[in-house]
Amino acid sequence: MLAAIAAYALQLPAKRGKAFDKRFGIETTEPVVVDPRDFIDESHRSAIWYFPSIPEVFDSVMRTLKIRAEEYTFVDVGCGKGRVLIMAAQLPFRRVVGVESSTATASIARTNVGVVAGRSSLRAPVDVLTCNALSFDFPPGDLLIYLYNPFSKLDVYVEFLDNLEASLKAHPRKVVLVYTCPEHVRAFEECHFLEPIERYELLVNEYTWCAFTNTRYRTPGRI
Ligand SMILES: C[S@@+](CC[C@H](N)C(=O)[O-])C[C@H]1O[C@@H](n2cnc3c(N)ncnc32)[C@H](O)[C@@H]1O
């Protein structure tokens, strides 16, 4: 009996993902293993293979954080096939940006976004950039940065946060970072310019997420 429940629970994300794909007429559910030939650089060495976020995680984040989408640019770090970009673009973000260092996967994301944009009206402009998130030039304005376990190593998250800090130093602004399935959360907890704003909400299948915001490099007067 327990085994049957566990098996059902494991299938749930795939089922929910397929419902998402069917709704939009795209494919974002099948995983993609890391193939170095697909990547623009050495980032495959620390890349986690493509697995999509389940829609409930994104919904839980947006429901809990009560972000005013119109005040933020949404950035999905390692956007894979673009499922999160499409969910974000259902909301009126200033802009939605996907960063992906696998050329093959980024190309699928672009196609998927194009299909959805052609069939329904997205509420935010979406761009998919084929680049390494460690050297990514963050867009101007306040940012909601979403990470679903893109990197396999703690020091890569630290490098990512160093790059973000350099951007914030040059252009102070508010940042909210959402980290789902937070395996290397220590990089965020020990980061001197971040503090937690939401922690470990338990979701279906034990998916968890947490969120941080910057305590330094903010525009004066920004709450
Ligand atoms: C677990 S998937 C997450 C996909 C998507 N964010 C979602 O939530 O549905 C992680 C993705 O990060 C990408 N990735 C890994 N390292 C990267 C890097 N240094 N720069 C950009 N993308 C990277 C992988 O190729 C993969 O598509």
What's the pLDDT score for residue 6?
Answer: 46
The phi, psi pair for 43, rounded to 5°, reads -65, -15
Contact 113, 80 (CB under 8 A): no
What's the pLDDT score for residue 187?
Answer: 98
What's the pLDDT score for residue 116?
Answer: 97
Q: Which helix (H) or strand (E) holds 85?
A: helix 83-88
In order along its 223 residues, the chain shows pLDDT tens digits of 445 544 454 566 677 788 999 999 999 999 999 999 999 999 999 999 999 999 989 999 999 999 999 999 999 999 999 999 999 999 999 999 999 999 999 999 999 999 999 998 899 999 999 999 999 999 999 999 999 999 999 999 999 999 999 999 999 999 999 999 999 999 999 999 999 998 877 776 678 999 999 999 998 766 6
Contact 133, 78 (CB under 8 A): yes
- Ligand 1 atom with minimal separation from the 43 CA: 19
Strand order in the sheet with 126-130: 126-130, 95-100, 73-77, 143-148, 175-180, 209-214, 194-198
**Looking at domain 2-214, which of 3.40.50.150, 1.10.15.40, 3.30.470.20, 3.30.70.360 is its CATH number?**
3.40.50.150
3-state secondary structure of 111: helix
Block residue for tokens 């194009």: 114
Q: What is the largest CA-CA distance in the chain?
A: 57
- Ligand 1 atom with minimal separation from the 57 CA: 8
Beta pairing class for 209-214 and 194-198 = antiparallel
**How far apart (Å, rounded) are the C-alpha atoms in residues 173 and 167?**
9
Judge if the beta carbon of residue 207 lies within 6 A of ligand 1: no
Contact 194, 214 (CB under 8 A): yes
Indicate the pTM of the whole model: 0.94
- Ligand 1 atom with minimal separation from the 58 CA: 8
Contact 103, 130 (CB under 8 A): yes
**How far apart (Å, rounded) are the C-alpha atoms in residues 136 and 101?**
10
Q: Whose CA is nearest to atom 12 of ligand 1?
A: 78
Rounded to the nearest whole angstrom, what is the distance from the C-alpha of residue 48 to the centroid of ligand 1?
A: 7
What's the pLDDT score for residue 9?
Answer: 47
Contact 134, 156 (CB under 8 A): yes
